[in-house]
Amino acid sequence: MQCHKNNLISHHKKLCLITFLLSLLSTFPFSQTFNYGDSLSLSLLYFEAQRSGHLPYNQRLKWRHHSGLIDGLEQGVDLVGGYYDAGDNVKFGLPMAFTITVLSWSVMEYQDQIAAAEELQHALEAIKWGTDYFIKAHTHPHVLWAQVGDGETDHLCWQRPEDMTTSRQAYKLDKDNPGSDVAGETAAAMAAASLVFKKKNPHYSTLLLEHAQQLFEFADKYRGRYDDSIEVAKGYYTSISGYKDELLWAALWLHKATENRSYLNYAVKNGESFGGTTWAVTEFSWDIKYAGLQLIAAMLPMEEKTEEEKKILQQYRSKAEHYICACLNKNNGANVKRTPGGLLYTRRWNNMQYVSSALLLLGVYSDHLRSTNRALSCDIGLVVSEEILEFIKSQVDYILGDNPMRMSYLVGYGPLYPTRVHHRGASMPSYKDYKEFLGCMQGYHTWFVRHAPNLHVLAGALVGGPDEKDEFRDSRRNFAQTEACTYNTAPLVGVFAKLHSLEKNNSF
Ligand SMILES: *[C@@H]1O[C@H](CO)[C@@H](O)[C@H](O)[C@H]1NC(C)=O
């Protein structure tokens, strides 16, 4: 600003002062602080919006109602419950299981911080809504029901889940129709959840562990990609990375949950042939688990390990650290891109899922570095845990509004957030207020195309987010940016809890 120079006329000074104040105001949001406790509470509320089945008496989110009450009936199996993945009404097994694995991981790592924020009960309920469903869906040691409904017919309608008239056909995996990716991911989810419930509900924890062990055996013994068995999943949740990552991921979670050495042996023995020690990846998602499993292997204690095991675990660690360094922009070459505003950028379609999953991995690894008193050695220098924490905070603050659009991509947080989230239920009248049936196409004609905001705030949903130029268009049609998914929010539960606790202790 040039205002202080040669301003002899007093009204000019006033103008300068106003300009100065305005410029302060416009820069102010960049130094604003965020309430991570509020964002944590919202993130857990979101899972109630995605519930399928018979809603319980203590359901807090009031604009949803019972739905999918005959799921599985045609096939003679009770598949009522579980979660819708996103803005539609299909229950897809792969993303649902991944959501529960990551949510459980969040809670396992940050249980005390979540409890201090008085949100632990909600977090446990969110996990249990998923694991109760998996117990139902796993009807025989070698049978797992992995999908209800299909994207093709579901996407022809814009309907509340409470009114669904679309196909509710259920699809199963068995030894003739294997699906090692979904069976492996469900095993991982149940093993991770068993750790969360170990003290709170030991009986339930043991039950989950039994299912997890059986599912892993099924996944390993009858190998195949689930979308070859359940072809309707193709094009929606195609298992592009195959199932070898899920097998290693499940084995490592089972090792954590049981401390049974045979699962560790599995990850050691198959580390190379399954890509665990060889794949250097820069994204972690419902499809590609390598970074997550490499991180878990990297954090295993080295004591009481054979030389061979140490060598393999070291290889896992080097790949895990490649991922972490890529997120921090510290590799020579393979790094995750960033938008001009500084957000991690992987791809146009639902980019936020890669951001939020990266933040959980970064958070967990920064804790590990701190507790083992190590620094991370990237191609471009050493990184200490505080630096990783600063980066996590910058990304979370971007999500919550510290970005060029000044918009919170966590719905319901702050003064400005997406109001036309691509979500059937949220866009239309609540079943509680409007009990008359809303038809398949009626929804499109009346509610989808409408310019006005959704009728309900899908609180706690993390939308797909801005493009590579930090730009965002709030429109229901723009589903690459405005759709939210359960696996977007799940990792944030842990991240918000961690930041909330640091903020309370004045650690920033
Ligand atoms: C460890 O797991 C393997 C494979 O599931 C099983 O055969 C073995 O009995 C387990 N060992 C113990 C001590 O539980």
Per-residue pLDDT reduced to its tens digit, 420-452: 999 999 999 998 899 899 999 999 999 999 999
At 324-372, the pLDDT tens digits run 999 999 999 899 999 999 999 999 999 999 999 999 999 999 999 999 9
Q: How far is the CA of 157 from the centre of ligand 1 (A)?
A: 48
| The pLDDT value given to residue 33 | 86
pLDDT beyond 60 at 105: yes
Q: How far is the CA of 288 from the centre of ligand 1 (A)?
A: 27
**C-alpha to C-alpha distances, 78 to 82, 168, 252, 312, 449, nearest whole angstrom:** 11, 12, 30, 43, 35
The residue whose CA is least distant from atom 14 of ligand 1 is 260
| The pLDDT value given to residue 13 | 44
| The pLDDT value given to residue 25 | 46
Would you say the CB of residue 260 lies under 6 angstroms from ligand 1? yes
Would you say the CB of residue 159 lies under 6 angstroms from ligand 1? no
Q: What is the DSSP letter of 172?
A: E
Would you say the CB of residue 385 lies under 6 angstroms from ligand 1? no
The residue whose CA is least distant from atom 10 of ligand 1 is 260
| The pLDDT value given to residue 507 | 76
In which region does residue 463 sit, left (phi positive, over 0), alpha (psi from -120 to 50) or beta (all else)?
beta
pLDDT beyond 90 at 404: yes
Would you say the CB of residue 394 lies under 6 angstroms from ligand 1? no
CA-CA-CA-CA torsion for 144, 146, 147, 152, nearest 10 degrees?
-130
The residue whose CA is least distant from atom 4 of ligand 1 is 262
Q: Which atom of ligand 1 is nearest to the CA of 216?
A: 5
pLDDT band, very low/low/confident/very high, at 29 (cuts 50, 70, 90): very low
The residue whose CA is least distant from atom 13 of ligand 1 is 260
Q: How far is the CA of 445 from the centre of ligand 1 (A)?
A: 57
Q: Which amino acid is it at 64?
A: R
Structure tokens at 269: 């023995």
DSSP string, 395-450: HHHHHHT-STT---SBTTSSS---SS-S-HHHHS--TTT--S---HHHHIIIIIS-
Using DSSP's 3-state secondary structure scheme, residue 484 falls into strand
Q: How far is the CA of 462 from the centre of ligand 1 (A)?
A: 40
pLDDT beyond 60 at 232: yes
pLDDT beyond 90 at 233: yes
Cα separation, 412 vs 157, whole angstroms: 26
The residue whose CA is least distant from atom 1 of ligand 1 is 260
Query: How many CB atoms within 10 Å of residue 432?
Result: 11
Q: Which amino acid is it at 39?
A: S
Rounded to 5 degrees, what are φ and ψ at 500? -60, -45
Q: How far is the CA of 215 from the centre of ligand 1 (A)?
A: 14
Would you say the CB of residue 315 lies under 6 angstroms from ligand 1? no
| The pLDDT value given to residue 170 | 98
Contact 246, 165 (CB under 8 A): no
At 109-127, the pLDDT tens digits run 999 999 999 999 999 999 9
The residue whose CA is least distant from atom 5 of ligand 1 is 213
Using DSSP's 3-state secondary structure scheme, residue 30 falls into helix
Using DSSP's 3-state secondary structure scheme, residue 53 falls into strand
Q: Which atom of ligand 1 is nearest to the CA of 217?
A: 5
Q: How far is the CA of 242 from the centre of ligand 1 (A)?
A: 26
Q: How far is the CA of 104 from the centre of ligand 1 (A)?
A: 23
Q: Which atom of ligand 1 is nearest to the CA of 261?
A: 1
Query: Which residues are marked as active site?
Result: 88, 422, 474, 483
- 286-322 b/e (C-beta count within 10 Å ≥ 16 → b): bbbbbbbbbbbbbbbeeeeeeeebeebbebbbebbbb
> Do the bridges between strand 344-345 and strand 337-338 make them parallel or antiparallel, or are there none, so unpaired?
antiparallel
Stretch 233-245: mean pLDDT: 96
Would you say the CB of residue 262 lies under 6 angstroms from ligand 1? yes
At 383-397, the pLDDT tens digits run 999 999 999 999 999
| The pLDDT value given to residue 32 | 67
Q: Which atom of ligand 1 is nearest to the CA of 260?
A: 1
Pocket test for ligand 1, best of 262, 265, 266 (most atoms within 8 A of CB): 262
Q: How far is the CA of 298 from the centre of ligand 1 (A)?
A: 23
Structure tokens at 169: 């056909």
- pLDDT averaged over the chain? 93
| Nearest partner of 292 among 478, 491, 127, judged by Cα | 491
- Half-sphere CA count of 139, side-chain side, radius 13 A: 16
Q: Which atom of ligand 1 is nearest to the CA of 213?
A: 5
Pocket test for ligand 1, best of 254, 260, 261 (most atoms within 8 A of CB): 260
- Half-sphere CA count of 488, side-chain side, radius 13 A: 26
Q: How far is the CA of 213 from the centre of ligand 1 (A)?
A: 9
Would you say the CB of residue 265 lies under 6 angstroms from ligand 1? no
